[in-house]
């Protein structure tokens, strides 16, 4: 792997100069010795002269079942101990950031604490700290080790990373202070003996930056990793990063585990929940077997083995545990550990606005939700994921009070998701039967496709007997496929190198409709120009561009290339250096402004009506209307649409101010949070914040009205579920909404006139007509059966290859009725052929239908030959053939032609 080779070469380079990169003041003052592991050759630092192996090949004393810290810490207590220490050492404690990393265009989830403070600008990472130095309890989601959760005793999909971060800029600190603090945290606050702490040399390579690091361990357990991000670029092309960044991430779960010495990390982290749920479910505990099993399983990685069942057998053999003891004392606890972890991950994700789906990161959430529910079903436990999540939310309340507030939203989402899950389970029978008939051995790729297309989990296939085990790294492979970067919009290829940024006059005064500006670059071949400044808004953020005239030429398109705005014209272009008059199409601009502000209003209304998981997925605003795609789990009901529309128009009636301010990104985020990023991450240091009263606030680059009253009115035209987890709303605003209402009123009046009732009685009359049609349809069906009985009773009208032909000729009957009569004939006289003709005398043509219930003859071929001979057109395949002839065909002629076909 190139990445692993790159890391290995970096580590060799840094480790060849330990005094420059790794040796810190603590090591010198305390007398730490630098040693090389006798097994793998990695370098580490220790106070223990007898130590010859690095923690990766640990053969010393374990912390399991032993007292290593000064006392046992529960989960929230451990964080308070960490927080108090760092705050006392001059750090600011900041609240966690969302687990959904909306500020990063390349990530769905927050995978580490440093992600909180990384922003992407111009293809490289910049760091923005709200305080320096700081400490943060960052909830993080990772889905690359799903199979290991519950099995190894230490893996999680959701965990809290203790983030200790600083900038080496005179206010923060660098290596010496970092390692001193981490060592003192362990030895002073947690009471770990100094000689138990081991530091291992390592490197870190990230998005456009890299550095060296010191991992720290106690008795073979990695607790944290202090990364010193000193370089930007790549290992082969880099320069020193200014200022350098301290990125120390430690696992809160590991600290709790170390302090309690339980057989698994889960026993320490979920201690209260396990006690309550274990009693409720009647799960038996054998501490000796548990300790033996997890001591062995912790040395395995199920994502790296071809056969997980063999790995399990190896662990059981190593631990000396039989199958019966495993099923009774180990497996139920492994399952409960997994359910607790997956429930906690879902709790955090939903609290921060994520939604399980078949799209992007939602795949990961749905996968673990169905995995957890599958475990509950397999064990026949009377337990709900929601119950588990609420237990966790209550125990985490001292750290994360917002989790308990999200339980109602989680309840609704789980109801919808579990209904879909059970619907999938009800369909599994037909899928299994189809797979069995094929006789083919299922591959991992087959199983992934079944999950993606039908929602069938591998556990369902195992239960059905189609597989004996879940494929290796199934969930890791599945989730990795749905973590692609978002693609940026492509602009026309125009070379703007060397041009200054275009002055954006359209921001200075959105109501300005005329201006003069100098042409600084002309592109005759492309019929495009660049001006010093412009009143024309370029296409961006889902908003279509302004139109108008520029130097007498029509402006047909405007795009932004970097910080330069390019105008595309019709018929010709002015020359470079010309000062040209620019004039907007004012009506178009006003309509675009109304539709864009209306999009913010509708988005805010949808979130309030539907739930906190509603985010803008994408949007489009044009002169004639707008559409907004929102994240939501189901298609919208009429009542929901009406409620959204009503609330949106109430906001218009309130005539709220629409304030637009340019703010430093950090200031904007601290004031308004990450709801700002409705349209996705914005790679700018300064954000243009659009605030609609106290109703909605978003970072947005579009043009807007100054008060909501200017929108006039909003009408939602329709909604549809365009993909899993995404609903589209189409709407119009301003005069477009008025025009739509007038048009609807006109249509309603016309319908009312046709029905002979007042407009307010149209719905009632239509209902009466539908009932009459339903009654008439039932009579028609009965008549078809009666005609078919008559046709069969009168006997066959001929034979084709010895097969009887039943026929009927009718007038002014549609093809659908001919087919229904034929279906009834086929049921009454199996193994026959049916010929139906309907003369359409007013059109001078005939409709023909042939139905074969015999395996020997293809009705489509018969119909094709017969129609061709009669001068008509048509055909078919299998049991039905149909078509028409542009004249009246008598039954005798049709039978004669059919007999000779």
Cα separation of 348 and 357, whole Å? 16
How far, CA to CA in Å, does 93 sit from each of 118, 126, 156, 679?
A: 18, 21, 24, 29
**15-74, pLDDT tens digit by residue?**
999 999 999 999 999 999 999 999 999 999 999 999 999 999 998 899 999 999 999 999
Q: What are the pLDDT digits (tens) for 838-868?
A: 999 888 999 999 999 988 888 888 999 999 9
600 labeled part of a ligand binding site: yes
CA distance 755 to 748: 11
Q: Place 492 in a pLDDT band, splitting at 50, 70 and 90.
A: low
Provide the pLDDT for residue 487: 46
pLDDT digits (tens, 9 = 90+) for 693-727: 999 999 999 999 999 999 999 999 999 998 889 99
Three-state DSSP at 581 gives: strand
At residue 473 the predicted structure's pLDDT band, cuts being 50, 70 and 90, is low
Torsions phi, psi for 497 (to 5 deg): -60, 135
Domain limits of the chain? 3-261, 287-482, 503-584, 590-739, 795-898
Residue 704 annotated as lining a ligand binding site:
yes
Give the bridge partners for 211, in sequence order: 204, 229
CA 148/CA 517 separation, integer angstroms: 64
Can you name the residues that pair with 540 across neighbouring β-strands? 543
CATH fold of 795-898: Diaminopimelate Epimerase; Chain A, domain 1 (3.10.310)
Q: What superfamily would CATH give domain 3-261?
A: Bira Bifunctional Protein; Domain 2 (3.30.930.10)
Residue where the block lists tokens 């010198």: 28
Assign domain 590-739 to a CATH class: alpha beta
The one-character DSSP state at 326 is I
Range 785-812 average pLDDT: 89
Give the pLDDT confidence score for residue 222 in this predicted structure: 97
The per-residue pLDDT for range 306-322, each reduced to its tens digit, is: 888 889 999 999 999 99
CA distances from 663 to 660, 666, 679, 688, 880 (A): 10, 8, 17, 6, 69
| Beta strand ranges found along 493-637 (DSSP E) | 503-504, 514-523, 528-531, 533-534, 548-550, 553-561, 564-569, 579-584, 616-621, 626-631
- The answer to whether the Cα torsion of 191, 194, 200, 203 is positive or negative is positive
Is the domain spanning 503-584 CATH 3.50.50.60? The answer is no
């Amino acid at each position: 792997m190139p990445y692993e080779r790159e890391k290995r070469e970096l580590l060799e380079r840094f480790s060849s100069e330990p005094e420059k990169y790794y040796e810190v003041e603590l090591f010198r003052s305390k007398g730490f010795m630098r040693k090389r592991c006798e097994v793998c050759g990695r370098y580490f630092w220790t106070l223990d002269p007898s130590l010859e192996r690095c923690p990766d090949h640990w053969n010393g004393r374990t912390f399991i079942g032993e007292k290593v810290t000064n006392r046992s810490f529960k989960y929230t207590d451990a964080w308070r101990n960490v927080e108090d220490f760092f705050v006392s050492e001059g750090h600011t404690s900041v609240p966690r950031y969302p687990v959904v990393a909306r500020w990063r265009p390349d990530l769905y989830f927050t995978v580490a604490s440093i992600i909180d403070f990384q922003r992407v600008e111009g293809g490289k990472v910049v760091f923005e700290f709200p305080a320096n130095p700081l400490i943060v309890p960052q909830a993080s989601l990772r889905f690359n080790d799903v199979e290991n959760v519950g099995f190894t005793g230490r893996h999680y999909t959701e965990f809290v990373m203790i983030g200790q971060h600083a900038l080496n800029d005179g206010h923060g600190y660098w290596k010496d202070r970092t390692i001193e603090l981490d060592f003192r945290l362990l030895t002073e606050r947690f009471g770990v003996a100094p000689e138990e702490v081991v530091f291992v040399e390592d490197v870190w390579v990230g998005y456009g930056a890299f550095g060296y690091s010191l991992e720290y361990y106690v008795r073979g357990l990695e607790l944290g990793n202090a990364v010193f991000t000193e370089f930007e670029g790549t290992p082969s092309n880099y320069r020193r990063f200014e200022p350098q960044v301290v990125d120390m991430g430690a696992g809160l779960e590991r600290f709790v585990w170390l302090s309690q010495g339980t057989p698994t990390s889960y026993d320490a982290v979920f201690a209260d929940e396990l006690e309550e749920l274990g009693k409720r479910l009647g799960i038996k505990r054998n501490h000796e077997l548990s300790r033996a099993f997890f001591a062995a399983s912790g040395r395995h990685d199920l994502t790296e083995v071809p056969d997980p069942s063999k790995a399990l057998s190896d662990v059981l053999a190593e631990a000396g545990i039989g199958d019966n003891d495993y099923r009774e004392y180990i497996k139920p606890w492994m399952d409960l550990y997994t359910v607790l972890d997956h429930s906690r991950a879902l709790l955090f994700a939903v609290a921060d606005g994520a939604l399980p789906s078949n799209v992007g990161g939602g795949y990961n959430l749905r996968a673990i939700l169905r995995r957890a529910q599958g475990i509950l079903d397999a064990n026949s436990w009377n337990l709900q994921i929601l119950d588990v999540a609420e237990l966790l939310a209550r125990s985490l309340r001292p750290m994360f009070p917002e989790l308990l507030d999200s339980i109602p939203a989680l309840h609704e989402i789980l109801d919808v998701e579990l209904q879909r899950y059970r619907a999938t389970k009800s369909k599994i029978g037909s899928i299994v039967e189809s797979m069995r008939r094929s006789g083919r051995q299922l591959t991992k790729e087959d199983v992934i496709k079944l999950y993606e297309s039908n929602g069938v989990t591998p556990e369902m296939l195992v239960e059905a007997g189609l597989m004996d085990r879940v494929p290796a790294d199934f969930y890791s492979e599945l989730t990795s496929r749905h973590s692609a970067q978002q693609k940026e919009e492509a602009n026309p290829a125009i070379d703007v190198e060397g041009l200054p940024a275009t002055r954006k006059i359209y921001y200075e005064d959105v109501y300005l409709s005329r201006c003069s500006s100098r042409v600084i670059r002309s592109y005759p071949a492309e019929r495009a120009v660049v001006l010093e400044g412009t009143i024309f808004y370029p296409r961006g953020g889902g908003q279509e561009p302004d139109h108008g005239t520029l130097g007498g030429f029509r402006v047909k398109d405007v795009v932004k290339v970097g910080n330069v705005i390019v105008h595309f014209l019709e018929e010709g272009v002015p020359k470079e250096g010309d000062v040209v008059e620019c004039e907007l199409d004012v009506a178009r601009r006003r309509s675009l402004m109304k539709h864009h502000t209306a999009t913010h209003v509708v988005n805010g209304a949808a979130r309030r009506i539907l739930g906190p998981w509603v985010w803008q997925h994408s949007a489009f605003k044009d002169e004639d209307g707008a559409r907004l795609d929102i994240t939501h789990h189901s298609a919208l009901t009429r009542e929901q649409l009406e409620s959204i529309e009503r609330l949106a128009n109430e906001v218009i009636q309130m005539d709220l101010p629409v304030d637009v301010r340019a703010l430093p990104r950090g200031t904007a985020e601290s004031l308004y949070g990450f709801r700002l990023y409705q349209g996705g991450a914005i790679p700018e240091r300064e954000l243009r914040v659009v605030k609609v009263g106290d109703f909605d606030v978003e970072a947005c680059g579009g043009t807007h009205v100054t008060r909501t009253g200017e929108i006039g009115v909003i009408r939602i035209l329709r909604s549809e579920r365009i993909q899993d987890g995404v609903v589209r709303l189409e709407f119009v605003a301003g005069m477009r909404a008025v025009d739509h209402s007038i048009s609807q009123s006109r249509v309603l009046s016309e319908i009312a006139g046709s029905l002979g009732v007042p407009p307010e009685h149209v719905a009632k009359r239509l209902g009466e007509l539908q009932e009459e049609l339903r009654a008439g349809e039932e009579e028609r069906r009965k008549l078809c059966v009666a005609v078919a009985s008559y046709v069969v009773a009168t006997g066959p009208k001929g034979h084709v290859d010895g097969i009887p032909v039943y026929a009927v000729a009718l007038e002014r009957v549609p093809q659908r009725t001919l087919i229904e009569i034929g279906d009834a004939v086929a049921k009454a006289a199996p193994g026959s052929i049916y010929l139906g003709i309907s003369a359409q005398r007013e059109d001078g043509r005939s409709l023909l239908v042939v139905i074969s219930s015999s395996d020997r003859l293809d009705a489509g071929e018969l119909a094709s030959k017969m129609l061709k001979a009669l001068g008509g057109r048509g055909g078919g395949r299998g049991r039905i053939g149909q078509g028409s002839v542009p004249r009246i065909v008598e039954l005798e002629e049709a039978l004669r032609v059919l007999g000779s076909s």
